[in-house]
Amino acid sequence: MNLRSVDLNLLVALNALLSDLHVTRAADRIGLSQPAMSNALSRLRHIFKDELLVRTANGMQATPRAIELAEPVKRLLRQLERLLDSESAFDPTTTTRSFSVRLSDLLSRLLLPAVGKTLATTAPSAQLDVVHYSPTHTVEALEKDEIDLAISMGLAHSNSIKSVVLMKDRMVCVMREGHPLAQRPLTMETFLQAAHLKVSMSPTDLRFVDDVLARQGLTRRVAVNVPHWLLVPHVLRDSDLLSVMPRRLAFAMVAEDLAIRDLPFASDPFEWSMYWHRRHDASQDLNWLRSIFVDATRSLPDND
C-alpha cells in the first residue's frame, strides 16, 4: 500500500466507526455529515479490502479484521496527537485531545464527578475514555501505550511504570439502615452467621476479607455474587445481606439508606495509586491529566 495515497483523516473516521458501530453517531463524534462518513466507510473498505462493519439484526457489527484493527488504530492516533502537540505548549482550553484512563466502577463513582466538572470548565473539547481492565491487562496497556493513565491498587509492574499514592482506604461492613445487625455492635459471630453479598471481580473482598478470615480458619457465607460495585446498594436496600467495601465508597453511598460498621476483625488498610509509563513523565498534557485526578482525590471528604 502506498501511504502517500492514504488520507490520515480516514483513520479518525475508522476509529469513530469502530467505537460507535453506527455511521450517524460516528459522524457526530468527529463532526462529519452522515453522507461524508458513509463515503469514508466506503473508502476504508476499499483500502482494507474488508467490509469492516456489517449490518445484522442487532445493528452494525465489526468484522474480525475490524476488531483486529481497533486497538492499533486507536494507539496510532494517540501517538500522532502527541507528535503534533509536542512542538507547542499544551493548552487545555483549546485541546481536542482524547485521553484514555483505566478506572473501575468504584473509582469512577468516587472520582469522575469532580474530574468531569474540571474537564467541562477547563477543557471543554477534550474527551475522556474510561476503560476497566484486569490488573495484568492494565499493566500491559500502559506498556503498549494503549492507555494514558491507570488508577488501581497493588499493581505488579516493571520499572518502566511509575506510580504515586492517591489516597488511603480500608474495608468496612455495610448493610441497610433497618438491618437487625445495624442496631447493635457487629461481632465476629454475627458477621459470620449473616448472609453476604460479594463483588466477584473485586480483589479487595478476597485480599482484605476472605484471605484474612481464611488465616483464622474461618469463612463467611456468601449468598449473592455480583459483578459490579454500583449494584451493591440496590441489593442491600431490599435484603438482609451484608457487604464489605472500601470505606470511601461506603460513605459516597450513605445517601442510599446504608449503615456503615467497622469490621469485627483486624484488616490492613490499603492505598489507591495512580500509574503511568515513564515515557510520559515530561508530557505536558498527561501531567495536566494526572493533576486533575490528584485534585479530584483531594476534593473527597476525609471520613476517618
What number of other Cβ atoms are within 10 A of residue 138's Cβ? 22
Q: Once rounded to an integer, what is the mean pLDDT over residues 171-195?
A: 93
Mean pLDDT of the chain: 88
Which pLDDT value is given to residue 244?
94
Q: Does domain 171-268 have CATH number 3.60.15.10?
A: no
Which pLDDT value is given to residue 2?
52
Rounded to 5 degrees, φ, ψ at 278 are: -60, -25
Q: Does domain 96-166+271-298 have CATH number 3.40.50.300?
A: no
Among residues 208, 235, 228, 226, the alpha carbon closest in space to that of 105 is found at 228
Which pLDDT value is given to residue 162?
93
Separation between Cα atoms, residue 275 and residue 131, nearest integer Å: 14
Which pLDDT value is given to residue 255?
67
Cα atoms in the Cβ-side hemisphere of radius 13 Å centred on 293: 29
Separation between Cα atoms, residue 56 and residue 46, nearest integer Å: 21
207 pLDDT band, cuts 50/70/90, is confident
Q: What angle do CA 195, 174, 296 make, to 5 degrees?
A: 140
What number of other Cβ atoms are within 10 A of residue 173's Cβ? 22
Q: Give the residue carrying C-alpha cell 509509563.
A: 277
Q: Is the pLDDT of residue 303 over 70?
A: no
90 pLDDT band, cuts 50/70/90, is confident
Same fold, 96-166+271-298 and 171-268: yes
Q: Where are the chain's structural domains?
A: 3-73, 96-166+271-298, 171-268
> What pLDDT, in 10s, does the model give residues 15-36?
989 888 889 988 888 888 889 9
Separation between Cα atoms, residue 181 and residue 81, nearest integer Å: 55
Q: Is the pLDDT of residue 87 over 90?
A: no
Q: Which fold has domain 3-73?
A: Arc Repressor Mutant, subunit A (1.10.10)
Report field, pTM of the whole predicted structure over 0.95: no
Pair 285, 97: CB distance under 8 Å: yes
